[in-house]
Amino acid sequence: ITIRVQTRHFEDEMCEAWFEIEGDVTVRANYIFGEEGHLLLRHQLGDAPITEQKIDASECDLLFPLLRVYTGPLLRAILDDGGKATVLIPRIDCFDEPEKLLQASFSERNAESLGEALFDIDGSEIPCEKVRFKGGPYIDGAECYLASEVLLAYEWEQGDGNRWRVQLDR
């Protein structure tokens, strides 16, 4: 399975996002932020006609475009907005139901600063902020290391007791 994401920004705001999942079937979605307080979702399953859905933008605070490169700015936005947000996330939890892939879902997310930290990447200690990120698959929370808007690493424990760590390499 391959997931591709591309975004377009105007000034500091995301105004459009494209998603494509290639697997047994190709699914495409395009999220367009409108000026009248709505979000337009265009969705296509394989070669079927494109469907459109308008979503009231007041239902969510932020769009999370799936990839970790977007997680740092998402965390910073949640922290700057008081630590809680309703986040719009294109669905990737339903590969057995491809018609639902990349459809809009809403998730309550929380971010809490745990203070300053140093994070080691290849022998260099980088000053950062340690953040607890909760919601979605991170029921017990993930520990994130954030340098400005750059996510250096995140760690979480799965329900089976396995601890995962994903980190940036230089």
pLDDT 10s digits, 84-97: 999 999 999 888 99
Q: pLDDT tens, 89-136?
A: 999 988 899 999 999 999 899 999 999 999 998 889 999 999 999 987
Give pLDDT, residue 170: 67
150 has a pLDDT exceeding 80: yes
The pLDDT-based confidence of 48 (bands split at 50, 70, 90) is very high
Q: In what order do the strands lie in the sheet with 26-33?
A: 2-10, 13-22, 26-33, 38-45, 51-56
Q: How far apart are CA 145 and CA 111, in angstroms?
A: 12
Q: How far apart are CA 28 and CA 4, in angstroms?
A: 9
Cβ count within 10 A of residue 136 = 15
The residue written with tokens 């395009």 in the block is 30
13 has a pLDDT exceeding 90: no
With a CB cutoff of 8 Å and minimum separation 6, the contacts of 165 are 153, 154, 155
Give pLDDT, residue 99: 94
Percent of the chain surpassing pLDDT 90:
54
